[in-house]
Amino acid sequence: MLFSLKEKLAKQQSLFTQTGGIHAAAQFSYEGELLSLREDVGRHNALDKLIGNTFKKQSLPLGNAILMLSGRASFELVQKATMAGIRHIVSVGAPSSLAVQLARENGQSLIGFLKDKSYNVYS
C-alpha cells in the first residue's frame, strides 16, 4: 500500500505537473485512498493548507490518516503533524535528525525516501 502512495500523489499534483516546482501534502486512509491534497510552493504552506482544510471540515484530529509529503520531512512539519493528531508520516525525501527525534518521542511512524520498491523507517 505504501508504494502506491507516491504514484497516487504524483497523479493528483496538477500544479507540479505544470510548474515542476510545487510541493504537496496529502492525507491518505490506511487503505491508501486519497482523502485530501493541497499544493504550494512551500512545503510548510502545503501542510498548513491541508490541516486548515481539515479544521474547516471539523475533522481534527487526523489520527486515522497517513500524511504524505512530496519533499523532505523537517522538524517543523513533524511538529505540525503532531498538533493535528497525525500518527503516520511518509515522505519522498529525507527527514532531518530533529524530525526523527520528535517522531520517536511522540510515538509517530516516520518513513522517508519512499521509492518505487523501497523506503526507510526512522521511527
DSSP string, 49-85: HHHHHHHHTT----TT-EEEESS-B-HHHHHHHHHTT
What CATH number is given to the structural domain containing 81? 3.40.140.10
- pLDDT tens column, 93-108: 999 999 999 999 999 9
Q: What is the pTM of this model?
A: 0.89
Domains identified in the chain, total number: 1
Q: Is 38 helix (H, G, I), strand (E, B) or coil?
A: strand
- pLDDT tens column, 40-66: 988 889 999 999 988 877 777 777 889
Domain that holds residue 38: 2-121
- pLDDT tens column, 5-41: 988 887 777 655 566 678 899 999 999 999 999 999 8
Q: State the amino acid at position 93 in one-letter form.
A: G
Give me the chain's average pLDDT, please: 89
